[in-house]
Amino acid sequence: MTSHRTASPDGSPARPLSLVGWLAAAVAALAVVTWQVLVQGPLTALDWPVHALVDPRQPEGPLLALAVAVARLGQRLVTVPLLVGLGLWAVLRGNGPRPILAVLTGLGSLAVMGTLLKVAVGRTPPVLGVDVVAPGWGNVVDWAGAALLSGAGSYEGYVSFPSGHSANAALTYPLAAWLLFGGSGLFPHPRRLRFALGFSLVPVAAVGTMMTVLDYHWLSESLGGWLLGAVVLLTARLVLGPGSRAGSPGRGGNGRVLAGGPSGKG
């Protein structure tokens, strides 16, 4: 009996429902962390002790330069050109529009969700030496007025939660791995994709850690940033799709999915 199977970028059958499940879990986890920040619940219990530990022990000299360089891996000046460049490259290589659409979806949803969360939660950064949360949709109205109305002045509320650098990193480096080695990527290769995805967690973890070590963000804000990044990453991954190029088992050299290929049973 002839069967047709489409492989996902890691060489396994495409499972969009499993991606949706992971996305739902990430959204739920982000909602829990946000709620804990709003009510100053147990998940924020370590925020102040960690701040008290790192604040008087800031690195200096070469160590400070190194820590700041690592933290900047989460800056949009780094992450946006990287993702847009890879997405456009994949499109120009004949991979269709999905790569750049996935990039734009990830970056756009992160910009919108991140800004709304930051403004609506209204948390002070640790550098002020106080942990105050002043949430409300009025914050969003004030921010929108400051952003859209000429002469309205700058928004004066606090926007510390979640960490934008941590979210940027959590979106950028795993998505870059998929754009390079996934089925819709530049050089489809399941084993390299698995390695790249594993390695991508290094800058993700490093950026979030530096945000806390350098006292830019409370510990729970780095966690919130990672979860926000995971939400937009999985959203972008759904847009990217399973891909159809060579590099996965069961594919011909011209990138077509083979029907009734060898099953390994003789």
> Mean pLDDT for each consecutive 10-residue tract of the chain (266 residues)?
45 66 98 98 98 97 98 98 98 95 98 98 97 95 90 87 99 98 94 98 99 98 99 97 54 38 41
Q: So what's the pLDDT on residue 251?
A: 40
Is the Cβ–Cβ distance between 183 and 248 less than 8 Å?
yes
Residue 18, burial from CB neighbour count under 10 angstroms (0-12, 13-18, 19+): exposed
CA 10 – CA 73 distance, rounded (Å): 26
Query: Which two structure tokens, joined as six digits, stand for 256?
Result: 């077509």
SS3 per residue for the chain: CCCCCCECCCCCECCHHHHHHHHHHHHHHHHHHHHHHHHCCHHHCCHHHHHHHHHHHCCCHHHHHHHHHHHHHHCHHHHHHHHHHHHHHHHHHHHCCHHHHHHHHHHHHHHHHHHHHHHHHCECCHHHCCCCECCCHHHHHHHHHHHHCCCCCCCCCCCCCCCHHHHHHHHHHHHHHHHHHCCCCCCCCHHHHHHHHHHHHHHHHHHHHHHHHCCCCCHHHHHHHHHHHHHHHHHHHHHHCCCCCCCCCCECCCCCECCCCCCCCC
Count CA atoms within 13 Å of residue 127 on its CB side.
9
As a whole number of Å, the CA-based R_g of the chain is: 21
Give me the residue spans of the domains in the chain: 16-240
Q: So what's the pLDDT on residue 261?
A: 39
CA torsion sign for 31, 34, 38, 42 is positive
Q: So what's the pLDDT on residue 15?
A: 66
Beta bridge partners of 123: 133
Q: So what's the pLDDT on residue 7?
A: 47
Q: So what's the pLDDT on residue 69?
A: 98
Beta bridge partners of 257: 251
pTM (two decimals): 0.86
Q: So what's the pLDDT on residue 3?
A: 42
Q: How many CB atoms lie within 10 A of CB 25?
A: 14
